[in-house]
Structure 1
Amino acid sequence: MKSTAAYGSWPSPVDAALAAAHDGRPEYLGAVGDELWWTAPRPVEGGRRALVRRRADGTEEGVLPAPWNVRSRVIEYGGRPWAAVARPAGGPLAVFCHFADQRLYAYEPDALPGAEPRPLTPVSAVGGGLRWVDPVIRPDRGEVWCVLEEFTGPAPTDVRRVLVAVPLDGSAAEDRSAVRELSDGRHRFVTGPRLSPDGRRVVWIAWDHPRMPWDGTEVMLAEVAPDGTFHGARTVAGGPSESIPQVDWDGAGRLLLASDRTGWWNLYRAEVDAAGTVGEPVALCPRAEEFGGPLWKIGLNWFTPLDNGLIAVVHGKGTTALGILDPERGALVDAHGPWTEWASTLAAHGTRVVGLAAGPRSAYELVELDTRTGRSRVVGAAHSDAIDPAHYPEPRVRTFTGPGGREIHAQVYPPHHPEFAGPEDELPPYVIWAHGGPTGHAPLVLDLEITYFTSRGIGVAEVNYGGSTGYGREYRERLREQWGVVDVEDCAAVARALAAEGTADPARRAVRGGSAGGWTTAASLVATDVYACGTIIYPILDLRGWATDETHDFESEYLYGLIGPVDQVPARYKERSPIEHVDRVTTPFLLLQGLDDVICPPAQAERFLARTAGRGVPHAYLAFEGEGHGFRRADTMVRALEAELSLYAHVFGVSRTDVPALEYRT
């Protein structure tokens, strides 16, 4: 028999420290001989990313001690920050980017005991300096090929990106001129090089402002001369309205690429003849599903070819699966297991493929699929229950109806506790979660931050509003020139539907989100009367400022597609910006901001607060030193999560003594 207590007042074993300790997930898998390597979050170690290896005997250990932080800042969101190769003697050779100074380092973890990583690249005092990502080690040439992001002036847009070769002997550690440039810099953005099996050709992806990589990209192909220089670089696939987020080679020297030319990211193969002419790409498994995703980070991969000619693919609609594709027959067989989300990183070794997978009752873990037997098993970063799984929420995948009858996808997490239930005459409060991006997706996976609320009696609904990925290009482009309209309407439609069906208390609904989700939250408080309060996390609040000089280069022209060209529709920028309409905000809110955020800078939050002051609306502001875009430190996440719960307790009329009370301004 469950005890009865008011929604929001239930005791919970999930405190903020526990949720923070389990925040983040592994990234950037790779096979190094018989070992698997990846990066892993360390919130309690200042938020650093550790490089971890799983030896052949199954033991896991860190490659580098603290404070080494394996993370790149290229396009600010980074990308693949490491590469390693096995060697016959001396153990593996690794190359990685260290977050603190963004230099590339070489490291031999099994060489001399106590040996330190040695720098391969110099430091620059110009603007954001020199940054590196998506490395490929070329032992035969004594080089590492990668992307260089080089700032040429003080502004965030004073930057160029090229493919380069960095000497492994350290001769470029203090000498920028020793870094050999491979591409000509004609494109604003590039991904790392992918060398053909015979070493004669190389491909990469490129695009330019104002397009984002999910709008349109080009596949570039060049010949590789014996001296390692690139010649005859040309576009062989893609274009302004075709997004290709990944390209690679199969064992026979044919191009493999993911393209959304039909409205869905599907996998294609193209023949390359002896003269380097690329044939028309042929779909290998045409489906109304996604076999790719948004290229927010450099070096993501949704497919990888295997030695036996098969191709491992991450695919799906809404949720994703790991499948093995036979390209000759078009047959696709999926791995069995409880996982509903596979990350955009795969590693192949022999006939086995390893990915990162999670589900509603498990966090991301390394899962290996043996293509010979069809069996899958967890081989690394294994999920372990920090609490009794009886406290985990039971999500419901829902499709709601929005304005004009459009579909809205969401995951609804009702309040859940094995020992408590709410009064029969009371409906629970709900928080609508708007994901970031906005070209992003809320995955169906276990998240202890969600459990933090649901186990206390507060429901959560994650909305994959129009503009989200995972449902095809048409769904993704619902947000074109409609940001601040469609996302706001879709979140409000879900909130209203939950109340209308008797799931949520109509008087106790909140909205929250970070980054683009912070924008949607602020815009929702301005444009609707649906919510009793909101949590705005490192948001965009002033479109004109963000479109000019208040963000980084990668997204500096993102608003051309989301809002429209600023010089053509200036009134739209003013009308949509929450900062222009603080008088419409009538409900309490919490604003959380990292003071080192260069993507959504604190200046916007501070201007918003200045205009809010004295209007009588209770609000609280927490700013965190040492935090950028996305909180990574455990102490920050604890304070932020407890503050959010304190806001809801105050507004929803719930008594809680387990979190500090917020100090409100008016």
Structure 2
Amino acid sequence: MINIKPFGSWKSPITTETIIAKTVGLGGVNSLAKDIYWLESRPQEKGRNVLVKQAADGTVADITPQPFNVRTRVHEYGGGAYLITEQAIYFSNYSDGRVYQQIGRETPQALTAESKKRYTDFVVDSPRNRLICVCEDHEVADSEPNNSIIAIALETGEITPLVTGSDFYTSPRISPDGTQLAYISWNHPSMPWDSSYLYLNDIQSDGSIDRVELVAGDTQESICEPKWSPDGLLYFNSDRNDWWNIYRRNSDGTIECLHEMAAEFTYPHWVFGLSTYSFISAELIVCAYSQDGSWHLGSINTKTKQFQAIDTPYTNISSVQASVDGDALFIAGSPNQPTAVTKFNLETQQATTIKRSGELNIDPGYLSIPQAISFPTDDNLIAHAWYYPPQNKDYTAPSGELPPVFVKSHGGPTAAAAVNLNLRIQYWTSRGFAYLDVNYGGSIGYGRQYRERLKDNWGIVDVRDCINAVQYLVEKQLADGERLVISGGSAGGYTTLAALTFYDTFKAGASYYGVSDLEILAKDTHKFEARYLDGLVGAYPEAKATYQERSPLYHIDRLSCPIIFFQGLEDKVVPPNQAEMMVEALKQKGLPVEYVTFPNEGHGFRQAANIKTAIESEFAFYSRVFDFETAD
């Protein structure tokens, strides 16, 4: 029997308990011999990252014991926090930042001394019995940390600087014969997706670095993911043709594109340890690529440069590795299946699930399947979004009623809406909300030109695209124009606050650790993003007037709708004062406002209880704003 109840009042089996109790985050897939490794982020353990192994016989076990947390804070966003070798596992521990060595199932032992250094992106230099990695040194108080590539002696933990002088480094990679080191660097004010450089050095017999060669990179070129093939050639991603495609440095030093294609074969370097392609052999690459906002699997023959698309049910693929038996390993998700560590046989095209993010048995009748939409936006351009209609097999709305719409402005802003089974989205759609995940201008997945729409225009292009996206739904009779909400975190929180301040399209909103004062953010954030706003807004302080013009905090008089704020009090990326100033100003104006804080959270919420509180508080807030009775 179908119940007739207003949108927002539908009872759903997808609860916050479902979201937090039965799911884990998955990342960092790797393999050694026939063993498969991955990281699990567990909300039930306060977000602890645990290294897990599936042995050749199929048994699965945790590798890192309590209380170790395999996570690094380099660039604050981390990634690349562990390395597996035949002799031991090496990892960065979140609580103290030290590098630990773990042999078998023994208790991990600290390799590096106590300090204010952070480490990531490890490779082993076997001939010299050392690790090579990226180091971020915070030893000097009240100054910007120093980044470098270093060597760590495996016997003593002694640190030797190898490459210094640039503001940032990533992806140190040693050639198969151990004689060359490749790495990427970039400098302020560029972000790595704006301008970065790939260098190649010779490693001398004493371990020192000599002969620097610039392989690729320019002021208008971004380089990602350098990797050595089994036969000793250097490969990398470059967006010199507008799209991140895979290139190769040949033995004579010439550079060639393996397969030119209007698709992205990598992600922007927000985190370390990216892997969107891997070598099955010297002649075959397995790769993930993004087109029209969705990820796919493919292969490239390195001899013939022939590209082959591989048909899979997945729409989100990451952490691509090759297994010892020639299969592809990756993390994959789709709109109706949980994200999973997956093994894929390239010959039979059969997939084996190694580990799901959650063992969920949700009737498909409660799941909303996203629809790709492209809509007209300012300057006669087209922008993109994913539209999720309300869906609950037990309910329908009264005749003639249109649904409220939850508009999501993703973070970054150089990021994108992921297309997979996201229970936080299904929480809303199964209760009667439509959900619109906007890939506004500046998002990745549509080429460099689309990404650069946001250049000097943050707070304008992103906001207008969110507004034009939801107005497109209203015009199509898919949304109630009087019940539109917008929500976002971090940079998406800024887009949310700007939309609510400078326009009256939305009737309520939620800011998760969002930016309210661009000027303060320009003066008070971490090194990685310290000059990010130069390209998004303008150089500071020269463009101070523009910063104030686009900052919601300076225009509280234009706000006229309720807002709820969520903030981790240990956030170093967007400090709590960004939310607190806005909340106080709204209180003084007499507008409905709520402020929910979490003392032990940073930038993004990882603890189960806090995730539950945030989701339920936001839903309850909108129920009061729009005066509908919730079924929970």
Match of 2:112 among 115, 121, 138: 121
SS in 1 for 2:122: strand
Match of 1:105 among 93, 100, 111: 100
Matched, 1:282 2:268: no
Listed one character per residue, the Cα deviations across residues 14-67 of structure 1 (whole Å, up to 9, x for unaligned) are: 111221335663111111221111111100111111111111122221112222
Matched, 1:594 2:568: yes
Aligned amino acid, residue 8 of structure 1: G
Write the distance in 2 (CA, Å) between the matches of 1:242 and 1:574.
31
Write the distance in 2 (CA, Å) between the matches of 1:608 and 1:379.
46
For the 8 Å contact 1:523–1:576, the answer to whether it is kept is yes
For the 8 Å contact 1:429–1:652, the answer to whether it is kept is no
Matched, 1:395 2:351: no
Matched, 1:369 2:344: yes
Write the distance in 2 (CA, Å) between the matches of 1:260 and 1:197.
26
Q: How does 1:197-596 map to 2 (within 5 A)?
A: 197-273=176-252, 278-279=253-254, 281-317=255-291, 318-381=293-356, 384-548=359-523, 550-596=524-570
Matched, 1:612 2:586: yes
Match of 1:638 among 612, 617, 628: 612
- What's the offset of the Cα at 1:251? 2.1
- What's the offset of the Cα at 1:138? 3.3
SS in 1 for 2:578: helix
- What's the offset of the Cα at 1:121? 0.8
* Aligned CA distance change for structure 1 residues 563 and 286 (closer, same or farther; 3 Å): same
| RMSD after superposition | 1.5
Write the distance in 2 (CA, Å) between the matches of 1:607 and 1:538.
12
Q: Which residue of 2 aligns with 1:175?
A: none
Moved more, 340-349 or 53-62: 340-349
- What's the offset of the Cα at 1:411? 0.6
Write the distance in 2 (CA, Å) between the matches of 1:69 and 1:614.
42
For the 8 Å contact 1:147–1:191, the answer to whether it is kept is yes
Match of 2:90 among 87, 95, 105: 95
Write the distance in 2 (CA, Å) between the matches of 1:22 and 1:209.
42
- What's the offset of the Cα at 1:344? 4.3
For the 8 Å contact 1:308–1:351, the answer to whether it is kept is no
Write the distance in 1 (CA, Å) between the matches of 2:22 and 2:289.
26
Match of 1:146 among 103, 127, 133: 133
Q: How does 1:68-87 map to 2 (within 5 A)?
A: 68-87=68-87
Write the distance in 2 (CA, Å) between the matches of 1:59 and 1:654.
49
Listed one character per residue, the Cα deviations across residues 270-329 of structure 1 (whole Å, up to 9, x for unaligned) are: 1134xxxx22x1111101111122000122122112225201111121111121111222
Write the distance in 2 (CA, Å) between the matches of 1:286 and 1:657.
52
Write the distance in 1 (CA, Å) between the matches of 2:405 and 2:579.
25
Moved more, 202-211 or 329-338: 329-338
Matched, 1:61 2:52: no
Structure 2 gaps of 5+ residues are none
- What's the offset of the Cα at 1:345? 4.1
SS in 2 for 1:431: strand
Structure 1 gaps of 5+ residues are 88-92, 173-177, 659-666
SS in 1 for 2:589: coil
Q: Which residue of 1 aligns with 2:602?
A: 628
SS in 2 for 1:630: coil
Write the distance in 2 (CA, Å) between the matches of 1:233 and 1:377.
43
Match of 2:150 among 161, 164, 169: 164
Instruction: Give percent identity, aligned residues only.
Output: 35
Listed one character per residue, the Cα deviations across residues 360-409 of structure 1 (whole Å, up to 9, x for unaligned) are: 01222122222343433323337532432321112111111111221111
Write the distance in 2 (CA, Å) between the matches of 1:229 and 1:70.
29
Aligned amino acid, residue 305 of structure 2: G
Write the distance in 1 (CA, Å) between the matches of 2:319 and 2:440.
21
Q: Provide TM-score, normalisation by structure 1.
A: 0.92
Aligned amino acid, residue 181 of structure 1: P
Listed one character per residue, the Cα deviations across residues 577-608 of structure 1 (whole Å, up to 9, x for unaligned) are: 11111111110010000000000000111112
For the 8 Å contact 1:132–1:147, the answer to whether it is kept is yes
Match of 1:191 among 167, 170, 178: 170
Moved more, 578-587 or 475-484: 578-587
For the 8 Å contact 2:390–2:429, the answer to whether it is kept is yes
For the 8 Å contact 2:68–2:93, the answer to whether it is kept is yes
